[in-house]
A and B are shown apart, each in its own frame.
Chain A
Amino acid sequence: MKRQIPLMIVLILGLLFVAHVFIPSRLSTDYLDWFMKWTKVIGPFAIVLGVFSLVYVHYNKIKRKAPTWGYSIVTLTALVVTTAVGFIWGIQEGTPYMWIFKNFNVPLGATMFSLLAFYIASAAYKAFRARSIEATVLLVAAIIVMLGRVSIGQAITHWIPDITEWILNVPNLAAKRGIALGVGLGMTATSLKIMLGIERSYLGGKD
């Protein structure tokens, strides 16, 4: 009941999905439609887990007066207000909800992204170390590619753009292919393990 039935569900649905791939008939596509329809019904309920967990963590911090608990108030306030605003005035363009999204979420997210360039610069200086011969090769290839994509590279010698292109088309292709093949096989294996109940960590717990 606690473990066997969920595993059975996965096995049966999984086998049907394996069959779905090999059987093109209408019955098979109907099965997929059915599954998708149900999944779409089930899906929205999961968000409650996240909300509850977030509230729980921050509520606890506030209650215990953990260090920096004041910021937890900020988080909870923002959560409550944004949610309330969304439910009261709707989520269309022009509502306070979208206003919050545009003026809070978007700049915060975009800024995070543009910070990446700064991190790269400092990482270039502090963290990108030729710790081993392999890492050295990596850095040299990176430097060639970086030069090859700007006019300075061409100005130095036309070999640099040519080598850049070669790196992209030959070693890069081989690397991507080799890794993708292994990863693909790993994905097949993991899917198989889950389906057969060998891999069950996603269920959590032991009983």
Chain B
Amino acid sequence: MTETIGIWIAAFLTLCMFSFLYKDNPFYKFAEHLFVGVSMGYYIPYTYYNAFIPYAYNPLFLKKEYILIIPFIIGFLYWFRFSSKYSWVSRYPIAFGMGMVGMGVPMSMHATVLVQMRSMMLPLDNINIILIFIGTISILLYFFFSKAHEGVYGKFTSIGIWFMMVGFGASFGYTVMARISLLIGRIQFLLGDWLGLIK
């Protein structure tokens, strides 16, 4: 019975969502607002049980690691956001979390710049590698902002645009394909497993 109610609710909500394809309507609005509320409501107990209890409450109050009082207080400082006078206090926890960016400096230099540079330095011994090389260099120059795209230089950078567009086209095609297979899968399940229309 719970299950049946569940399936009916799910079906009803699915229809509400699909009704948006026809046009914006009260059913869609209802489902949309419900979705917003339920999903936020889902996060609160989830965070409480899976983050607050094991990482904050247990170590401080049960394991008696009193040093954790400090981050506990820093966490509370977030709440000053609601005071118009003291809202600057909430910058402290934000700043603490931002400390991580220090790692981003060398890490992104290493992982996304230097590693990519190495993979570009292959010997130019076949046409595809030469094309990749030209493509990458011209895209890099396309994103070089200190020189206007004019003359020969402009022509070269526009090669970059062409490469990018072909690349984007490929990922476009792939994404379209993936979305459609998702829909097909859904309809196969609906028609086959639920309604039994196809076998």
Q: List 25 A-B contacts (CB under 8 A).
A: A5-B95, A9-B92, A10-B98, A40-B56, A41-B60, A42-B75, A44-B55, A45-B75, A46-B93, A76-B37, A78-B33, A79-B41, A86-B46, A113-B182, A115-B20, A120-B176, A134-B162, A135-B165, A145-B170, A171-B167, A175-B168, A177-B116, A178-B135, A187-B104, A187-B112
The minimal Cβ–Cβ distance linking B110 to chain A, given in whole angstroms, is 8
The range of chain A's interface size is: 35 or more
Chain B residues contacting A182 (CB-CB under 8 Å) are: 139-140, 143
Q: Which of A105-153 contact B (CB under 8 A)?
A: 105-118, 120, 124, 134-135, 137-146, 148-149
Chain A residues contacting B171 (CB-CB under 8 Å) are: 172
Complex CA gap A173/B14 in Å reads 39
A49-B79, A104-B38, A141-B168 are known; give 7 further A-B pairs, CB within 8 A: A5-B92, A37-B59, A74-B30, A74-B33, A120-B176, A137-B166, A178-B137
> Which of B35, B95, B136 interacts with A108 by CB under 8 Å?
B35
> Which of A50, A78, A195 interacts with B105 by CB under 8 Å?
A195
A69-93 CB mask vs B (1 if < 8 Å, else 0) is 0011011111111110011001100
Complex CA gap A95/B191 in Å reads 30
Complex CA gap A7/B117 in Å reads 33
**Contact A167 B81, beta carbon cutoff 8 Å:** no
* CB-based closest 4 A-B pairs: A141-B169, A184-B112, A13-B99, A175-B167
> Which of A110, A138, A139, A181 interacts with B116 by CB under 8 Å?
A181
Q: Does A156 contact B (CB under 8 A)?
A: no
**Contact B116 A42, beta carbon cutoff 8 Å:** no
Which label, helix, strand, loop or mixed, suits the secondary structure of the B interface? helix
Q: Does A17 contact B (CB under 8 A)?
A: yes
Chain B residues contacting A35 (CB-CB under 8 Å) are: 99-100
Complex CA gap A85/B40 in Å reads 13
The minimal Cβ–Cβ distance linking B147 to chain A, given in whole angstroms, is 15
The minimal Cβ–Cβ distance linking A196 to chain B, given in whole angstroms, is 10
**Contact B163 A178, beta carbon cutoff 8 Å:** yes
Complex CA gap A28/B48 in Å reads 30
**Contact A104 B9, beta carbon cutoff 8 Å:** yes
Contact A71 B102, CB 8 Å, known A54-B40, A149-B177: no
Contact A21 B103, CB 8 Å, known A86-B41, A141-B166: yes
**Contact A177 B120, beta carbon cutoff 8 Å:** yes
The range of chain B's interface size is: 35 or more
> Which of A16, A74, A143, A144 interacts with B34 by CB under 8 Å?
A74
Complex CA gap A72/B179 in Å reads 32
Chain B residues contacting A177 (CB-CB under 8 Å) are: 116, 119-120, 132, 136, 139
Chain A residues contacting B124 (CB-CB under 8 Å) are: none
Q: Does B18 contact A (CB under 8 A)?
A: yes
Chain A residues contacting B134 (CB-CB under 8 Å) are: 174
Complex CA gap A49/B76 in Å reads 11
